[in-house]
Amino acid sequence: MSKAFYITTAIDYVNGEPHLGHAYEKVITDVIARAHRSLGEQVFFLTGLDEHGQKVQQAAQAEGKDPQTYCDQLAVIWQRVATTLNLSHDDFVRTTQPRHLAVVQAVLAKMQAEGHLYKAEYSGFYSAKEETFLTDRDRLPDGTFDAAWGQVIALAEENYYFKTKPHQDWLVAHIQAHPEFVQPDYRRNEVLGFLKNNTLEDLCITRPASRLAWGIPLPFDKDFVTYVWFDALLNYASVPAAMGDPTAVAALGDYLDPAFRPSAAGHALWPADIHVIGKDIIKFHAIYWPIFLKALSLPLPKQILAHGFWQKDGQKISKSLGNVIDPVAVIQEWGVDAFRFYVTRELDIGADGNWTDASFQARYQAELANGLGNLVNRSLSMLKRYRGGALPPKSTDLKEDAEKATASTVAQLRAHQLQAALLSIWGLVNRANQYIDQTAPFKLAKDPNQSQRLDQVLYGLVETCRILAVLLWPFLPSSSTRIYAQLGLQKAPDQLAEATWGTLNPGHQIGEPSALFPRKDLAARNP
C-alpha cells in the first residue's frame, strides 16, 4: 500500500476560543489537503487541540472548573469551528486522549531506556507565562527580561533533560542538504543562522507534578509530568501509531502498552509530508521535533511550512485590545467561502497579513459577487433563456484560455502556491466576463442568423464555468459544488482530471441558476 500524503496543522491551545490566526492556518492546510485529493492522491489531514500545560490549568482554575471538564467543553466549540470552516480533516487529535497518552509514555520509556534523558537540578529563572526556563542570554542589555516573558521568577528544581548536544551537527547538515525541509527559504535561513550561532542547550522536558499537575506523568517517575511541547509535538506521530502506521508502531516496539497496540497494520502515514505551522513556533518544529524523531529512529517529516501572522488594522490581534476577529461571526454574515477566499487570496503562505473589514468587503464585492458570481449567473441564465437550459453542440471558444489557466493552477497547487493559483483562476474569470462583453450574446440572440454563433458562445461560457468549479474546489468547496449543482451535475467537482475541455455533452440539461455571492450594499455598511 503506498503511503498517504500526510499533512498536519499546529494543535491549538485550548485556553480560549478560535480566532482569525487559528482559522487561517486550518484553512490553508485544508486547501492543500483538498488539492492533493483532487490530484488523485490519498490524503490524511490531521488537526486538533493541545490540552495540557500550565496555561490550560490556570484558565480552568480561573473558571472554577477541573481541567478535563474545561477542555471537554472547549473542545466541542473548537470542533464545531472546524466544521464551520468546512475542513476536510480525517482525524481530530486531543492530547488528553488515551491513545495519545499511551504513545507519549512509550516514547519517554524508550528515550529513558536508550540513554537520551538524564535528571539534574536547575537553578535559574523561569517564565510561567511561556512555561520556559530562561538563561542569561535571554536578558536585555539592561539586565532585565523582556515583558513578553511575563513575571520571571528565580527557581531551583530537579527535572529531566533531553540531550540535544549530539544532534546539532547532523541537523545543520540535513537542513543544508534539503532546502525543502523548512519553507519559505527566509525561514530556513533563520533556522540555519540560529543553529550556526548558538550551541543548543539540553532541553528540559518535564515539570515537577507538585508544581504542574496537568500533564502526562513519566512512566518511570510519577513525580514528574512531561513538558507541554514534548507532549504536543508527539501528536503528529501518536495518531499514526494509534492507527497502525507500520513505521510508527515499529519505532515504539514493546514500549507501547499492549492495550494500545493496533491489532492490524494500518495505512502507511509516517513520515509527515507537511507540518503547517505559524512562524512563532518554528524553533520547536524545525529543531526539537526532528531531534526527538532521530532519537526515536523515526524518519523526519519532509517539510515544515511556516505561515505568517495576521494583524487587524495594523495592530497585533489580542483580547486586551478587543480586536479579535471571530471567524464564525464573519462566516455567518458572509459565508464560509468568502472567508476562505479572502484569507488565501490576501496572503502568500509565509507573508504577514493585515485584516481590514474594508479590504475583506471590497474583495467580496469585486472578486466574488461581481467576478465569479456574476459570470456563473449570467452564463447559466443566458443558456436557460436562449436554449431552454440545454447545452448546444460543443465549441472551442475559451478552450485555450481555460487550458492555460488549468495548467498553471495545477502547477501552482502542486507547489502549494495558493495565492498564485487563485490569481490564475481569476485570470480565467476575468477573461470570461470580458468575453461576454465582447461577444454580446444578448445581441446575438436577437438575430436569427447568429444562432450558430450564439451556440458557440454559450457552450464556451458554460464549459468554462464547469472548469472553474473544478479548479476552485480546494479553495471554495461549497460554492464549487453549488456551481456543479446549478450545471445539473450531482457530484462534487473534486477531481482536477475533470478540468478537461469538452466534458459537458450537447443536450445536457442544466439546473436552476441562483446567486452564489449576493451583492451587498457596502455604502450602507460603511457610511
Shortest Cβ 25–ligand MSP spacing (Å): 5
Shortest Cβ 23–ligand MSP spacing (Å): 9
Residue among 200, 317, 420, 423 that touches ligand MSP (CB under 6 A) = 317
Residue among 281, 328, 436, 445 that touches ligand MSP (CB under 6 A) = 281
Q: Is 448 exposed, middle or buried (0-12, 13-18, 19+ CB in 10 A)?
A: exposed
Q: Residue count at the site for ligand MSP (CB under 6 A)?
A: 18
- Closest-CA residue to 356 (of 20, 5, 14): 20
Residue nearest ligand MSP by beta-carbon distance: 278
Q: Is 12 in the site for ligand MSP (CB under 6 A)?
A: yes
Q: Is 309 in the site for ligand MSP (CB under 6 A)?
A: yes
**Please, which residues have CB within 8 angstroms of residue 201's CB and are 6 or more apart in sequence?**
135, 164
Shortest Cβ 122–ligand MSP spacing (Å): 23
Shortest Cβ 442–ligand MSP spacing (Å): 46
Residue given cell 497494520 in the structure block: 265
| Closer CB to ligand MSP, 326 or 401, in the complex | 326
Residue among 24, 44, 334, 355 that touches ligand MSP (CB under 6 A) = 24
Shortest Cβ 514–ligand MSP spacing (Å): 34
Shortest Cβ 52–ligand MSP spacing (Å): 10
Q: How far is CA 326 from CA 26, 307, 348, 526, in A?
A: 14, 19, 21, 19
Task: Identify residues 36-65 at the interface with ligand MSP (CB under 6 A).
Answer: 50
Show the binding pattern over residues 160-199: x = contacts ligand MSP (CB under 6 A), - = does not.
----------------------------------------
Residue 333 CA, chain-centre distance (Å), reads 23
Q: Which stretch binds ligand MSP (CB under 6 A): 16-24, 249-257, 324-332, 433-441?
A: 16-24
Beta strands in 363-464 (DSSP E): none
SS3 of 453-515: the string is HHHHHHHHHHHHHHHHHHHHCCCCHHHHHHHHHHCCCCCCCCCHHHCCCCCCCCCCECCCCCC
Task: Identify residues 199-258 at the interface with ligand MSP (CB under 6 A).
Answer: 232-233
The secondary structure of residue 309, as a DSSP letter, is -
Shortest Cβ 404–ligand MSP spacing (Å): 33
Q: Which stretch binds ligand MSP (CB under 6 A): 5-13, 86-94, 251-259, 380-388?
A: 5-13
Q: Which stretch binds ligand MSP (CB under 6 A): 98-106, 140-148, 167-175, 272-280?
A: 272-280
Residue among 21, 246, 392, 460 that touches ligand MSP (CB under 6 A) = 21
Rounded CA gap, 422 and 73, in Å?
37
Other beta carbons within 10 angstroms of residue 86's beta carbon come to 17
Max CA-CA distance within the chain? Answer: 92
Rounded CA gap, 25 and 10, in Å?
8
Phi, psi (rounded to 5 degrees) for 259: -65, -20
Q: Is 375 in the site for ligand MSP (CB under 6 A)?
A: no
Grouping H, G, I as helix, E, B as strand and the rest as coil, residue 358 is helix
**Interface contacts to ligand MSP, rule CB under 6 A:** 10-13, 21-22, 24-25, 50, 232-233, 277-278, 280-281, 309-310, 317
